[in-house]
Structure 1
Protein backbone atom coordinates (compact mmCIF):
# COMPACT_ATOMS: atom_id res chain seq x y z
CA UNK A 1 0.00 0.00 0.00
CA UNK A 2 1.29 3.44 -0.91
CA UNK A 3 2.33 5.50 2.08
CA UNK A 4 0.26 8.63 2.61
CA UNK A 5 2.29 11.83 2.48
CA UNK A 6 0.50 14.34 4.64
CA UNK A 7 3.44 16.03 6.38
CA UNK A 8 4.97 19.27 5.09
CA UNK A 9 8.32 20.97 5.51
CA UNK A 10 8.72 24.67 4.85
CA UNK A 11 12.05 25.60 3.32
CA UNK A 12 13.37 29.12 2.80
CA UNK A 13 15.57 29.72 -0.24
CA UNK A 14 17.02 32.64 -2.12
CA UNK A 15 15.86 33.18 -5.69
CA UNK A 16 19.25 31.94 -6.93
CA UNK A 17 19.06 28.75 -4.86
CA UNK A 18 15.53 28.07 -6.04
CA UNK A 19 16.57 28.53 -9.67
CA UNK A 20 19.55 26.18 -9.23
CA UNK A 21 17.30 23.51 -7.70
CA UNK A 22 14.85 23.77 -10.60
CA UNK A 23 17.70 23.65 -13.15
CA UNK A 24 19.15 20.50 -11.58
CA UNK A 25 15.71 18.92 -11.29
CA UNK A 26 14.88 19.57 -14.93
CA UNK A 27 18.32 18.43 -16.13
CA UNK A 28 17.62 15.09 -14.43
CA UNK A 29 14.34 14.79 -16.29
CA UNK A 30 12.30 15.01 -13.08
CA UNK A 31 9.13 17.09 -13.28
CA UNK A 32 8.01 16.91 -9.65
CA UNK A 33 9.81 19.23 -7.25
CA UNK A 34 8.55 17.20 -4.28
CA UNK A 35 9.90 13.96 -5.73
CA UNK A 36 13.28 15.54 -6.51
CA UNK A 37 13.73 17.13 -3.07
CA UNK A 38 12.50 13.97 -1.31
CA UNK A 39 14.95 11.79 -3.24
CA UNK A 40 17.87 14.15 -2.64
CA UNK A 41 17.09 14.54 1.07
CA UNK A 42 16.63 10.82 1.72
CA UNK A 43 19.25 9.30 -0.57
CA UNK A 44 21.59 12.19 -1.33
CA UNK A 45 21.60 11.61 -5.07
CA UNK A 46 19.48 11.18 -8.16
CA UNK A 47 20.59 9.22 -11.19
CA UNK A 48 19.66 10.14 -14.73
CA UNK A 49 20.34 7.27 -17.08
CA UNK A 50 20.75 8.05 -20.75
CA UNK A 51 19.87 4.81 -22.49
CA UNK A 52 20.73 5.88 -26.05
CA UNK A 53 23.99 3.92 -26.02
CA UNK A 54 22.23 0.82 -24.71
CA UNK A 55 19.54 1.13 -27.36
CA UNK A 56 22.21 1.49 -30.06
CA UNK A 57 24.06 -1.51 -28.66
CA UNK A 58 20.90 -3.63 -28.64
CA UNK A 59 20.17 -2.60 -32.23
CA UNK A 60 23.68 -3.51 -33.40
CA UNK A 61 23.55 -6.80 -31.55
CA UNK A 62 20.27 -7.65 -33.27
CA UNK A 63 21.74 -6.73 -36.67
CA UNK A 64 24.83 -8.86 -36.05
CA UNK A 65 22.68 -11.78 -34.97
CA UNK A 66 20.49 -11.48 -38.07
CA UNK A 67 23.51 -11.20 -40.35
CA UNK A 68 25.22 -14.16 -38.71
CA UNK A 69 22.10 -16.28 -39.24
CA UNK A 70 21.99 -15.23 -42.91
CA UNK A 71 25.69 -16.05 -43.35
CA UNK A 72 25.23 -19.47 -41.75
CA UNK A 73 22.22 -20.21 -43.97
CA UNK A 74 24.10 -19.15 -47.13
CA UNK A 75 27.15 -21.19 -46.10
CA UNK A 76 25.01 -24.26 -45.52
CA UNK A 77 23.29 -23.81 -48.89
CA UNK A 78 26.28 -23.10 -51.12
CA UNK A 79 29.33 -23.79 -48.98
CA UNK A 80 30.87 -20.32 -49.50
CA UNK A 81 31.73 -17.53 -47.07
CA UNK A 82 32.40 -14.08 -48.51
CA UNK A 83 35.20 -11.95 -47.06
CA UNK A 84 33.14 -8.75 -47.42
CA UNK A 85 30.37 -10.26 -45.29
CA UNK A 86 32.82 -11.28 -42.58
CA UNK A 87 34.45 -7.82 -42.64
CA UNK A 88 31.02 -6.17 -42.25
CA UNK A 89 30.24 -8.41 -39.29
CA UNK A 90 33.66 -7.72 -37.74
CA UNK A 91 33.14 -3.94 -38.02
CA UNK A 92 29.73 -4.18 -36.36
CA UNK A 93 31.16 -6.29 -33.55
CA UNK A 94 34.00 -3.77 -33.08
CA UNK A 95 31.42 -0.99 -32.82
CA UNK A 96 29.51 -3.05 -30.24
CA UNK A 97 32.69 -3.48 -28.20
CA UNK A 98 33.40 0.27 -28.34
CA UNK A 99 29.88 1.13 -27.21
CA UNK A 100 30.15 -1.42 -24.40
CA UNK A 101 33.40 0.19 -23.22
CA UNK A 102 31.79 3.65 -23.28
CA UNK A 103 28.86 2.40 -21.22
CA UNK A 104 31.15 0.74 -18.68
CA UNK A 105 33.29 3.87 -18.31
CA UNK A 106 30.18 6.01 -17.76
CA UNK A 107 28.88 3.55 -15.17
CA UNK A 108 32.26 3.57 -13.42
CA UNK A 109 31.96 7.36 -13.02
CA UNK A 110 28.75 6.97 -11.01
Structure 2
Protein backbone atom coordinates (compact mmCIF):
# COMPACT_ATOMS: atom_id res chain seq x y z
CA UNK A 1 0.00 0.00 0.00
CA UNK A 2 2.25 2.81 -1.20
CA UNK A 3 -0.39 5.54 -0.76
CA UNK A 4 -0.64 5.15 3.01
CA UNK A 5 -0.25 8.30 5.09
CA UNK A 6 1.31 6.24 7.86
CA UNK A 7 3.79 3.81 6.29
CA UNK A 8 5.55 2.76 9.52
CA UNK A 9 3.99 -0.29 11.13
CA UNK A 10 4.32 -1.28 14.81
CA UNK A 11 2.90 -4.48 16.28
CA UNK A 12 2.15 -5.54 19.86
CA UNK A 13 1.28 -8.85 21.44
CA UNK A 14 -1.49 -9.09 24.03
CA UNK A 15 -2.96 -11.78 26.20
CA UNK A 16 -6.71 -12.24 26.51
CA UNK A 17 -7.01 -10.16 29.68
CA UNK A 18 -5.10 -7.23 28.19
CA UNK A 19 -7.18 -7.33 25.01
CA UNK A 20 -10.42 -7.35 27.00
CA UNK A 21 -9.24 -4.38 29.07
CA UNK A 22 -8.31 -2.39 25.97
CA UNK A 23 -11.63 -3.22 24.31
CA UNK A 24 -13.48 -2.17 27.46
CA UNK A 25 -11.66 1.18 27.49
CA UNK A 26 -12.37 1.66 23.80
CA UNK A 27 -16.09 1.03 24.42
CA UNK A 28 -16.03 3.57 27.25
CA UNK A 29 -14.52 6.08 24.84
CA UNK A 30 -17.02 5.16 22.12
CA UNK A 31 -14.45 4.20 19.51
CA UNK A 32 -14.05 1.04 17.46
CA UNK A 33 -10.84 1.99 15.64
CA UNK A 34 -7.95 0.38 17.50
CA UNK A 35 -5.31 2.19 15.45
CA UNK A 36 -6.74 5.61 16.26
CA UNK A 37 -7.15 4.69 19.93
CA UNK A 38 -3.59 3.31 20.17
CA UNK A 39 -2.08 6.38 18.45
CA UNK A 40 -3.99 8.74 20.73
CA UNK A 41 -2.99 6.87 23.90
CA UNK A 42 0.65 6.46 22.84
CA UNK A 43 1.05 10.14 21.99
CA UNK A 44 -1.19 11.81 24.56
CA UNK A 45 -1.44 9.22 27.33
CA UNK A 46 -0.05 9.83 30.78
CA UNK A 47 3.31 8.55 31.90
CA UNK A 48 3.47 7.76 35.59
CA UNK A 49 6.87 7.15 37.13
CA UNK A 50 6.85 6.09 40.76
CA UNK A 51 9.88 6.62 42.98
CA UNK A 52 10.18 3.74 45.44
CA UNK A 53 13.34 5.03 47.17
CA UNK A 54 11.66 5.73 50.50
CA UNK A 55 9.74 2.45 50.46
CA UNK A 56 12.98 0.57 49.83
CA UNK A 57 14.66 2.36 52.75
CA UNK A 58 11.71 1.53 54.95
CA UNK A 59 11.71 -2.12 53.87
CA UNK A 60 15.44 -2.39 54.58
CA UNK A 61 14.99 -0.84 58.03
CA UNK A 62 12.13 -3.21 58.86
CA UNK A 63 14.22 -6.13 57.62
CA UNK A 64 17.11 -5.15 59.91
CA UNK A 65 14.76 -4.92 62.88
CA UNK A 66 13.24 -8.31 62.09
CA UNK A 67 16.70 -9.83 61.82
CA UNK A 68 17.70 -8.35 65.19
CA UNK A 69 14.52 -9.58 66.83
CA UNK A 70 15.15 -13.05 65.44
CA UNK A 71 18.71 -13.09 66.80
CA UNK A 72 17.59 -11.87 70.20
CA UNK A 73 14.83 -14.48 70.38
CA UNK A 74 17.31 -17.22 69.54
CA UNK A 75 19.64 -15.99 72.29
CA UNK A 76 16.80 -15.76 74.82
CA UNK A 77 15.60 -19.25 73.93
CA UNK A 78 19.07 -20.73 74.29
CA UNK A 79 20.27 -18.82 77.38
CA UNK A 80 17.11 -17.58 79.07
CA UNK A 81 18.63 -14.07 79.34
CA UNK A 82 18.24 -10.84 77.40
CA UNK A 83 20.46 -7.80 77.38
CA UNK A 84 19.48 -4.16 77.79
CA UNK A 85 21.81 -3.19 74.93
CA UNK A 86 19.79 -5.39 72.58
CA UNK A 87 16.56 -3.71 73.62
CA UNK A 88 18.13 -0.25 73.23
CA UNK A 89 19.40 -1.17 69.76
CA UNK A 90 15.94 -2.32 68.71
CA UNK A 91 14.41 0.92 70.03
CA UNK A 92 16.92 2.93 68.01
CA UNK A 93 16.15 1.02 64.84
CA UNK A 94 12.43 1.33 65.46
CA UNK A 95 12.96 5.09 65.83
CA UNK A 96 14.60 5.09 62.38
CA UNK A 97 11.55 3.36 60.91
CA UNK A 98 9.20 5.87 62.53
CA UNK A 99 11.32 8.71 61.17
CA UNK A 100 11.08 7.29 57.64
CA UNK A 101 7.33 6.91 58.02
CA UNK A 102 6.95 10.51 59.24
CA UNK A 103 9.00 11.87 56.33
CA UNK A 104 6.96 9.86 53.84
CA UNK A 105 3.68 10.99 55.39
CA UNK A 106 4.72 14.66 55.24
CA UNK A 107 5.65 14.27 51.56
CA UNK A 108 2.26 12.80 50.73
CA UNK A 109 0.33 15.55 52.52
Runs of 4+ with >3 A deviation: none
Q: Where does residue 107 of structure 1 map in the other structure?
A: 108
> SS at the partner of 1:106?
helix
Tell me how far apart the structure 2 counterparts of residues 75 and 100 of structure 1 sit (CA, whole Å): 30
Going from structure 1 to structure 2, the CA distance change for 1:38 and 1:95 (only over 3 Å counts) comes to same
Alignment of 1:91-102 (within 5 A): 91-102=92-103
Relative to the length of structure 1, the TM-score reads 0.59
Using CA pairs under 8 Å that are at least 6 residues apart, name the structure with larger relative contact order, 1 or 2.
2
Going from structure 1 to structure 2, the CA distance change for 1:97 and 1:56 (only over 3 Å counts) comes to same
Q: Where does residue 6 of structure 1 map in the other structure?
A: 36
Structure showing greater radius of gyration is 2
Tell me how far apart the structure 2 counterparts of residues 5 and 103 of structure 1 sit (CA, whole Å): 41
Unaligned segments of structure 2, at least 5 residues: 1-18, 24-33
Relative to the length of structure 2, the TM-score reads 0.59
Q: Where does residue 5 of structure 2 map in the other structure?
A: none
2:57 is aligned with 1:56: yes
